[in-house]
Structure 1
Amino acid sequence: MGYETDLKLFIDGVWKGSDTGHTVVNPVDASAIAEVPYATKADLDEALAASERAWPEWRATDVEKRGATLHKAAALLRERADLIAATLTQEQGKILAEAKAEVLGSAQLFDWYAEDAKRDYGRTLVRPAGQLSRVIRQPVGPVATFTPWNFPIYLLAKKVSAALAAGCTVISRPPHETPGCTTELFRALADAGIPNGVAQLVHGDADLVSRTLIASRVIRKVSFTGSTGVGKHLMKLCADSMTRVTMELGGHAPVLIFDDCDLEKTLDMVVPQKFRNAGQVCVSPTRFYVQRGIYDAFIKGFAERTAKVKIGNGLDDGTKMGPLANARRPDAIETLVQDAKAKGARVLAGGERGDKGFFFQPTLLADVPNEAEIMNEEPFGPVAVSRPFDTFDEVIEQANRLPYGLAAFAFTENGRRTNLIGDLVESGMVGINTFAISVADAPFGGVKDSGFGSEGGKEGLESYQVVKAIHQA
């Protein structure tokens, strides 16, 4: 299965190349598979001018017609799912089944927002006879999006589908590690008949693209998914032009395991989730706090299941976990594991990097002290850390200890306890006896250093809108 995507920039309805670029590598063996063209300053200026020109026409386009274009793009993504999934696996490393699910989830987002835009109701305020006050929402304007490599097409689709449905034009800069699958998303939009200048794709140097787009008065909104550090940097750039932002940043998800859970069922759920996409998931379950009475049984079962996770090329049948996405990740994971070991953690499974490519073994660490770096910084890799707890108050304190608050999970059969967990855990999303928290019709976002604003659900559409109050006497 070869790499079949033709990598181009998409600016003002035209596919074009560039004299500069970046080598795309397959993380299985670090082999070069393509060259992605990089946008120049002139390309970015052209994209900005086109986005500004196209916005009035797109915002005035009937919502049914906008929706039809998004539905067509969704249908094309489904038709091309096998090709796009294979491209994604070769670029990023995740197994083929996960890659195809990501493509189909992206199509679902386009379908959902195509319809949700039709339910974008305003409201009328109570006023004396002969007077009228109403509140409406309008598209914010041209938008710039920046997305990471861990879910490159889904996270891009989440932003682009909502922005287009709201009536905004979009300029998107995807990660250089995964340009092929993101190019295919824009190819689906182009083939669906999106007007010139409405949706544009600019691969390129992150600093040049971000500074150029954010400094322009054309861009009215920035949506970013990535690390907390980069998010804070982009927010500083946005401050100079008072550009609106949505920030979906890092996490370090706690998992609260209580002694009344169905232990075997819980283990069968948490282990595959931990090693999904090699742990490169912003809501990946990572800090496992286990009630002391079942702690030994839990980590024993976790270790046994972890040892059975088959790693390899994501295109091969039977592979359950592929490599990490780039050369930086195995080094970072190895450093964190060694630090934890030096501070007293026990390695119950894995703990070593692979022999080639960007592989790292599925790993379980037990009795990890809070002083270990991995208990304080998101590993973003295939490592689970665990420690016991005794009381409810203690585990809530541990869950809320860090400055992150993106996702949290808990497993218990006690109804009163589930209500308290939902109320007390400081997190934008809480999954209780489930990991299904990223769905088209629900908001997705964090608190504290995990960012602010939401994507998904009606909140995702509203993030690309401004509120206007109109008073008439």
Structure 2
Amino acid sequence: MYEQFGLFINGEWRKPTQSADVFSPVTEKSLGQAPAATADETIEALNAAAAALRPLREMGGFGRADALHKAADAMIARTDEAARMIATETGKPIAQAGREWGLACDQFRWFAEEARRIYGRIVDSRVLGGRFEITREAVGVVGAFTAWNFPAALPARKLAPALAAGCSVVLRPSSQTPGVAMIMVDCLRAANLPDGSVNLVCGSTSNTYAPIMEDARVRKVSLTGSTRVGQQMIRDAADTVKKVSMELGGNAPLIIYDDADLDAALDATVATKFANCGQVCVTPDRFFVHESLHDAFVTGFVERASMIKVGDGLEPDTGMGPLINQRRLEEIDAIVQNAVQAGATLAHGGARTSHNSGHFYQPTVLTNVSDDMKVFAEENFGPIAAITTFSTEEEALARANACEMGLSAYAFTRSPDRARRTTATLKAGMVGINSFALAASEAPFGGTNFSGMGREGGIEGIEDYLDTKLSQIVF
């Protein structure tokens, strides 16, 4: 499955000296042998990236824009192949996989145009005959680390702005889902960027992460991963004073106010909660439902959840695929059992499915959940809807904010005034009112507090890949 690719270093695919199995979350069998870079191969990739900086800069913004548009064209032509790879490696439904690849294509289109708009400015100087010139320059070599849950969208959010800015990249995708990144990098190969502009290494932390973090030539690192990993990366980046941006964990609150459109809220929430088997950092985890709507909301939620077909994402009628691995399956089951033992009510699901293989778990609904239960206090990252009630707007907002995470937050209401108050009060990098659609190439994506720093997407997305230079010119 991975034989046509390998490691991508200095503009060419090469066979690795080591490899490791990638396992299907559906069958639990090996999908094939993926490359596993040695530390020396990672250093080769870093050398190539460093050498590519000058030719990338000399292309100029318009040249890099043309290259990124070529990459997007190549990606669109390989949509079916990429969607199947995503569904195979993650187990997510093929329709969701296709939409994800489309979002990745959009990133390259958006940042192709942003490459043409890296503006500076001129400021009058206090020195007679002088002026200040403020220009923007690429920070340098970038180390990009991505997670397995969105194996196309996450690399695209890092590769596209970095290349648009003129930064070369060493990409280290998740070893659980390397194939999708390989297809994307192959599309970039077709864009005729300078050799070394993009490099791909997979493998162990000691052989990939450590060389990248220790190399002083790497001036910026970008991570999508857990808060624990992000904290370690911040510490490691301090040794060589690297710029960091990261999108970390979430534990998003959802507030269903008493004036919400109940059917619209239910339709949107069930589809969002169980997308990718709940393995989405911005999915709603903590459900605050007004006491007057609680029973109707739970009834409607369970009805819709019970209609979801759980199975192989390559089957067209599958609504929810498996968890990524056995460890996640066991963790999710333990979280549910812990909540029930602590007094929560199991309204639906709460067990593994009857499939003969695969890491499948039922869409699960818990009620009578208290804020101190693990299922509520921590990100569960699985197909669990944990529901509690509230009485007043002030109570709901205070409880929603009682969390160290701050990635996304949501509410449903018919009141514009309440929507504005809610948006202003919730502590999160992104807030959705009557909508969960936050991920778009034209919009800045990211969180606050323990959910990370920096933004991906929008005009803000290129900022972390640029340094500001001030020049004083006097004649």
TM range (shorter): over 0.9
What are the residue-to-residue correspondences of 1:359-370 with 2, within 5 Å? 359-370=360-371
Deviation for aligned residue 1:266: 1.0
Residue 111 (structure 1) aligns with: 109
Closer, same or farther: CA 207–413 of 1 in aligned 2, 3 Å: farther
Name segments (4+ residues, structure 1) moved above 3 Å.
126-129
Q: Contact between 2:247 and 2:447, CA under 8 Å: does it hold in 1?
A: yes
| Mapped pair 1:37 → 2:35 | yes
Q: Contact between 1:163 and 1:169, CA under 8 Å: does it hold in 2?
A: yes
Residue 72 (structure 2) aligns with: 74
Amino acid at match of 1:146: F
Question: Unaligned stretches of 5+ in structure 2?
Answer: none
Alignment root-mean-square deviation, CA:
1.2
C-alpha distance in structure 1 between counterparts of 2:118 and 2:244, whole Å: 21
SS at match of 1:168: coil
1:113-172 CA-to-partner distances (Å, cap 9, x unmatched) read 000121222222243562211222110000000000000111000100000000000000
1:401-449 CA-to-partner distances (Å, cap 9, x unmatched) read 1100000001001111111111110000001111111111111111110
Residue 372 (structure 1) aligns with: 373
| Mapped pair 1:295 → 2:260 | no
C-alpha distance in structure 1 between counterparts of 2:393 and 2:206, whole Å: 45
C-alpha distance in structure 1 between counterparts of 2:389 and 2:89, whole Å: 38
Deviation for aligned residue 1:317: 1.8
What percentage of residue pairs aligned between the two structures are identical?
Answer: 41
What are the residue-to-residue correspondences of 1:88-103 with 2, within 5 Å? 88-103=86-101
C-alpha distance in structure 1 between counterparts of 2:193 and 2:118, whole Å: 21
Amino acid at match of 2:83: A
Residue 340 (structure 1) aligns with: 339
Q: Contact between 1:69 and 1:194, CA under 8 Å: does it hold in 2?
A: yes
C-alpha distance in structure 1 between counterparts of 2:262 and 2:184, whole Å: 41
Residue 168 (structure 2) aligns with: 169
Deviation for aligned residue 1:191: 1.5
Deviation for aligned residue 1:4: 7.1
Give the stretch that moved more between structures: 77-86 or 370-379: 370-379
TM-score where L is the length of structure 1? 0.98
C-alpha distance in structure 1 between counterparts of 2:40 and 2:125, whole Å: 52
| Mapped pair 1:196 → 2:195 | yes
SS at match of 2:62: helix
Q: Contact between 1:7 and 1:35, CA under 8 Å: does it hold in 2?
A: no
Amino acid at match of 2:388: R
C-alpha distance in structure 2 between counterparts of 1:376 and 1:126, whole Å: 53
Q: Contact between 1:5 and 1:87, CA under 8 Å: does it hold in 2?
A: no
Q: Contact between 1:409 and 1:432, CA under 8 Å: does it hold in 2?
A: yes
Question: Unaligned stretches of 5+ in structure 1?
Answer: none
C-alpha distance in structure 2 between counterparts of 1:87 and 1:125, whole Å: 51
| Mapped pair 1:86 → 2:84 | yes
Deviation for aligned residue 1:463: 0.8
C-alpha distance in structure 1 between counterparts of 2:7 and 2:416, whole Å: 52
C-alpha distance in structure 2 between counterparts of 1:5 and 1:269, whole Å: 40
Amino acid at match of 1:333: I
1:276-325 CA-to-partner distances (Å, cap 9, x unmatched) read 11111010111110111111111111011111111111011211111111
Residue 412 (structure 1) aligns with: 413
C-alpha distance in structure 2 between counterparts of 1:13 and 1:372, whole Å: 50
Amino acid at match of 2:28: A
Residue 127 (structure 1) aligns with: 125
1:199-254 CA-to-partner distances (Å, cap 9, x unmatched) read 00001112331111111011000000000001111111101111110011000000
Residue 459 (structure 1) aligns with: 460
- Size of the aligned set, in residue pairs, is 471
| Mapped pair 1:280 → 2:279 | yes
